Amino acid sequence: MTTTGAASTARFEALEPADPRLEPVLEDLVHEYHVRYGEFAGHDPRNEVYEGLETAYTAQNGGVFLALLDGETVIATGAARRFDEETVEFKKIWSHPERRGRRLSTRLLARLEDEARLLGYRKVFLTTGPRQPEADRLYERNGYTAHYDPEEFTLHAYTKALVADADGTTLPPDVEELFMDFGELILAESIARAEAAAQDEAAAQNEATTRDEIAARAEASARD
């Protein structure tokens, strides 16, 4: 699958997830997730990016890993994987840091929706983190329905119909169970840090007490 627009040399290709041209993309996603969410207890950005990568986004499993390339340089990506029989989940929406602001992600998202229709899906489900306002703007600008409270520090979920007779305004069943509360993660991390600090302080106090006791015994022994 290759297309070239009249006004651009960029082209779309469906790549295998292990394609070496995707490595800089994946590593940039790891870095970005670490910068934005790395302080949260239990969050593993590398696992988030690479988990299930080589199986979920392949045609035989109802998925695709789509890239927009300029020459052999990947400048935008989006991946799709099966969520349920009629729903596709979009992941790995990314654009090259040096080419942001050119609506590459909008172009990529539209093509990814076309690919999802060809795979037989009727609607899209996706999530983004609460510290990615540019992603929120992208999905809202392209007709996605938001399913989150902006006052809460949680995952931002979106849906959209891919065909006219599908309901793109509701979440898939039981999907709320997948949502994490970042506020709870922050609280857990704060508690863990406070407990660790208290343990360090107690250990330091015990060490100081032990030194004082040893010094006192040594002084008493010297007087004897």
Furthest-apart CA atoms within the chain: distance in Å:
98
pLDDT of residue 160: 98
Closest residue by Cα to residue 154 from 122, 186, 123, 125: 186
Q: What is the span of the domain harbouring residue 207?
A: 181-224
Contact yes or no for 78/43 (Cβ under 8 A): no
Average pLDDT, the chain: 86
How many structural domains compose the chain?
2
pLDDT of residue 209: 72
Same domain assignment for residues 85 and 127: yes
Residue 3 has pLDDT above 80, yes or no: no
Same domain assignment for residues 90 and 39: yes
4 band by pLDDT with thresholds 50, 70 and 90:
very low
Same domain assignment for residues 164 and 194: no
The interaxial angle of helices 133-141 and 104-118, nearest 10 deg, is: 60
Residue 56 has pLDDT above 80, yes or no: yes
* 16 occurs within a structural domain: yes
Residue 207's contacts (CB-CB under 8 Å, 6 or more residues apart) are none
| Residue 39 one-letter amino acid | E
CA dist list (Å): 158 to 18, 41, 62, 141: 28, 25, 20, 12
Tell how far CA 118 is from the center of its chain.
25
pLDDT of residue 214: 73
CATH code at position 47: 3.40.630.30
pLDDT of residue 6: 35
